[in-house]
Amino acid sequence: MSEKEKLSKWQEKEKKLSYERKSCWEGCTDGQKKKIFSLAEKYKTFLGQAKTERKVVEFIENFAKKNKMECFKNKEKAIAIVKTGKRPINEGLRIIVSHIDSPHLDLKRIPLHEEANLCFLKTHYYGGIKKYHWVNVPLSLIGIIIGKDGKKINVEIGEGKDDLCFVISDLLPHLAGKQMKKNAKDVVTGEQLTAIAGNICVNDSKIKEKIKLNVLDLLNKKYGICEKDMISAELQLVPSTIPRDVGFDKALIGGYGHDDKICAFASFEALANVSKPEYTTMMLFLDKEEIGSVGNTSAGSYFFSNVVMELCKKQNITDPMEIRNVFEKSRCISSDVDVGINPVFAEVHDMQNDPIIGGGVCIGKSTGWGGKYDANDSNAEYMANIVDIYDKNNILWQSAGMGKIDEGGGGTVSKYFSRYNMEVLDVGIAILGMHSPFEIASKIDLYYLEKAHQAFIK
């Protein structure tokens, strides 16, 4: 050891005693880098083609079939995939749960509207968005319409390279004097989130709304639907953008819907990469997290417990007391994204406790807001056990906080699983620009999350 590298007594102590958060890229080998980048490509393909919860379910169902996994679907918006473990189910399950819905703009029930020689689509935003993010961004329309005789019609407009798109056009700066003085939340209002959808009119002076009728005619020719059919339809506007590498070194991925599709991806990849898990393992993908886990496709529904009961039945466990035991012995990871430190907005962060981009898997002991209201606070024993698993498997991880105290807050689905008295811990990765049309994640964090999920089920 050279003179320069020799540590002083206190330096040695520091190395031994202090918790140091490091960039995972430090010490990353070329071989690892290759694996990291190839996993990221796989993820980008998934993220680019599965922008809505229905599309994710379709993707995962196909994935499960290809990888010979058991699969339970809930109304095309939530799904569970399962691999039977070496041990009997009465020793409990391993569960990793993520959500597959992302903030977007739903069309209103009667969306088409004509004014000033333009046709518009009225929307109602879904989830926690900064409304001003959604103007001047190319938007795709994705979803389903139930046509005559209950026929399901898939709609997907704007995703192809040469496809048309929709856009909410913001006010020009020249006339924005008053707008610029408003609070950011009112700069663009919910009602103003109205997307341009047409300009050509039908040639008939007897018709009042000529452009709207032309659009309805186009929709009728393409899908065989009329305006009434849109009342029950589920159509969402999402950014048309495809996932892109960000930065000179291409270390980051920019895209729509990392929250929480990046954790969903890490989960199903991990299950495919473990041929025989120790315990029966369920990867659960849920809807409606962004609006508070309400509704029958969310964490608030009995779908999860119904699937567990079905799995128990297959191993001849039907006694309610025994099933209750299965729940209590199970262990759960709630896998959702975390708030990464954005030094541009340093004032909201606790620089010591919030996670860094490229700092590895984020382990969050508690979620919630204020005095930890609405939180799931994991038990120290369980958390330490997961940390131990990660350390033994060389998973680089960091502790995750969520901004300065009382700066804001948020929750995950973890509290819905703690109800079963099973152990639950939040594990995810740090994201920048969360809930925006173009969120940022680090490729190396994704790599370690997939490895962490593998280690948990092995």
Task: Write out the residues near Mn ion by the rule CB under 5 A.
Answer: 259-260, 336
CB of 336 to Mn ion, least distance (A): 4
CB of 413 to Mn ion, least distance (A): 9
Cβ proximity to Mn ion: between 258 and 451 the closer is 258
> Measured between alpha carbons, how far is residue 57 from residues 40, 71, 80 in Å?
20, 10, 9
CB of 385 to Mn ion, least distance (A): 24
Cβ proximity to Mn ion: between 134 and 166 the closer is 134
CB of 127 to Mn ion, least distance (A): 7
Cβ proximity to Mn ion: between 114 and 287 the closer is 287
Cβ proximity to Mn ion: between 137 and 337 the closer is 337
Cβ proximity to Mn ion: between 85 and 411 the closer is 411
CB of 14 to Mn ion, least distance (A): 36
Cβ proximity to Mn ion: between 138 and 433 the closer is 433
CB of 260 to Mn ion, least distance (A): 4
Q: Are 333 and 430 in contact (CB under 8 A)?
A: no
CB of 214 to Mn ion, least distance (A): 38
* Cβ atoms within 10 Å of 81's Cβ, excluding its own: 24
| Residue labelled with tokens 């799931």 | 376
Cβ proximity to Mn ion: between 259 and 269 the closer is 259
